[in-house]
Structure 1
């Protein structure tokens, strides 16, 4: 029996929400809020570095994001707490006839630290991915934020010829701008191959870390032996690192090397890589 046309064209979508909160109790950071709706949640909190740093792994069970899907993630790190959030693997945005959305709302109170360290985002050709991130810092709050985006699937011979990737990122401290960025990349656009654009590199990555690095440390970071094309810029109160790469693995390795060097100097703790990054 043939299905009615309206049924055949219908594609179900997921709306998932995750709300997290962290507080400081003595020398320990503990979760104080963990609420989810739909297919988005965190695994058991981990203390790989001891009780001061609470690590959560954000899991999206469907494994991919399709047209019409919406992910809303909200996290609040309370005064003097330290939260580290990562993911178990790449986020995949599938080809779709309509946009899919992700919205992050991150708040870090005075004396607190947030590390937002997800694994890469893979945007399939013909996907319509729209991401929005708002980060509010209070007082002397500290932040380490990174993202990695892979357009298309070069290993499968797929270029990013259709669809779009759109990203909005705002970071404020006490209501004042630290970072304000808008990106929109169209599939098949000339900037994908232009030397003033992505220069034929399907992967790009950004690391933003509060604080100011010494000129000596910046030089060490700039001289890392890695096949990416990257560099760092020190802005008032914010260090920016960006790269272009042929493969997500190269960009990921570069970000981890930078994080390992910069974390002790800017955040005050030696770097301990989450075990999930090695699985």
Structure 2
């Protein structure tokens, strides 16, 4: 090991960054009650909405993830707490040069609590070898709103996703029962990128998922009709609501996802949507 490097980083293995966060409700507001990090993964000072929701921005100071890097987030929400987590900008996953990079997110949401996990886009550079995994464990009537925007390559820079691979899993559990399990696997240059039953030539995919009470028909109709600069569809399943879009730009996908969030938020929490300030910068 190179003794000049921090213990969590070696030239051979990459960064090992870990972040633990816990929240609880105090006097009508949600506040952070635990924070621990190893390596380059932090949170900025939290912001409390007038409704008492705690907004927190998760920051990866290096600004990009290289081959061999590993990011781990462990989040816990106590009963009745309300938290919105986002990021300050796009997560850039660089060419891996034969070493896979990964991010693992686990969250436990206690009864009566609500988690909104709304990061900005993930950009997979040509040659990136990436594993992404998220697991949410809900207790009782806990609710979850999860969004994800993935950009395959950088077509504006004439750098399509021609090499590398993207593997992603998302699981949602409630009281030990699996509500939702999704697995994605795509190699750079795969025919699914152009296939009509795959990406159909689009380079960006957006997802918004709600685990909670079913949407009223009127709200579901609003979501179905919400304009998208691409292709979009929504489905109300027995345990989750899922909305997905295919576009050619991260901005278009984020605008669609954020627009749906603004429609859903009053139903979810009984309060208006307060967009994180970082989204406007």
Q: Which residue of 2 aligns with 1:242?
A: 244
Deviation at 1:12, TM superposition (A): 5.7
**Distance between the aligned counterparts of 1:243 and 1:270, measured in 2?**
24
Deviation at 1:178, TM superposition (A): 1.0
Deviation at 1:26, TM superposition (A): 2.4
More displaced 10-residue stretch of structure 1: 183-192 or 216-225? 216-225
Q: Which residue of 1 aligns with 2:19?
A: 18
**Distance between the aligned counterparts of 2:78 and 2:194, measured in 1?**
44
Q: Which residue of 1 aligns with 2:149?
A: 148
8 Å Cα contact 2:51/2:271 also seen in 1: no
2:274 is equivalent to residue 272 of structure 1: yes
Segments of structure 1 that go 5 or more residues without pairing to the other structure are 1-9
The residue matched to 2:47 in structure 1 has which SS?
A: coil
Q: Which residue of 2 aligns with 1:192?
A: 193
8 Å Cα contact 1:228/1:254 also seen in 2: no
Spell out, residue by residue over 1:109-167, the C-alpha distance to the aligned partner (whole angstroms, 9 max, x if none).
00001000000000001000101111000000011100000000011011111000000
**Distance between the aligned counterparts of 2:91 and 2:258, measured in 1?**
18
Per the normalisation by structure 1, the TM-score is 0.94
**Distance between the aligned counterparts of 2:34 and 2:57, measured in 1?**
15
Deviation at 1:51, TM superposition (A): 6.1
Segments of structure 2 that go 5 or more residues without pairing to the other structure are 1-10
Q: Which residue of 2 aligns with 1:180?
A: 181
The residue matched to 1:152 in structure 2 has which SS?
A: strand
8 Å Cα contact 2:21/2:76 also seen in 1: yes
The residue matched to 1:96 in structure 2 has which SS?
A: coil
Deviation at 1:216, TM superposition (A): 1.7
**Distance between the aligned counterparts of 1:30 and 1:266, measured in 2?**
20
Per the normalisation by structure 2, the TM-score is 0.93
Q: Which residue of 2 aligns with 1:45?
A: 46
Match of 2:253 among 242, 251, 270: 251
- Two-structure CA RMSD over aligned residues (Å): 1.1
Deviation at 1:78, TM superposition (A): 0.4
**Distance between the aligned counterparts of 1:234 and 1:266, measured in 2?**
15
Deviation at 1:11, TM superposition (A): 5.1
**Distance between the aligned counterparts of 2:269 and 2:173, measured in 1?**
18
Q: Which residue of 1 aligns with 2:102?
A: 101
2:61 is equivalent to residue 61 of structure 1: yes
**Distance between the aligned counterparts of 1:265 and 1:50, measured in 2?**
17
More displaced 10-residue stretch of structure 1: 206-215 or 138-147? 206-215
**Distance between the aligned counterparts of 1:268 and 1:239, measured in 2?**
18
The residue matched to 1:218 in structure 2 has which SS?
A: helix
**Distance between the aligned counterparts of 2:243 and 2:216, measured in 1?**
14
Q: Which residue of 2 aligns with 1:131?
A: 132
Q: Which residue of 2 aligns with 1:90?
A: 90
Spell out, residue by residue over 1:21-44, the C-alpha distance to the aligned partner (whole angstroms, 9 max, x if none).
001112111111100110000011
**Distance between the aligned counterparts of 1:225 and 1:72, measured in 2?**
35
Deviation at 1:193, TM superposition (A): 0.3
The residue matched to 2:159 in structure 1 has which SS?
A: coil
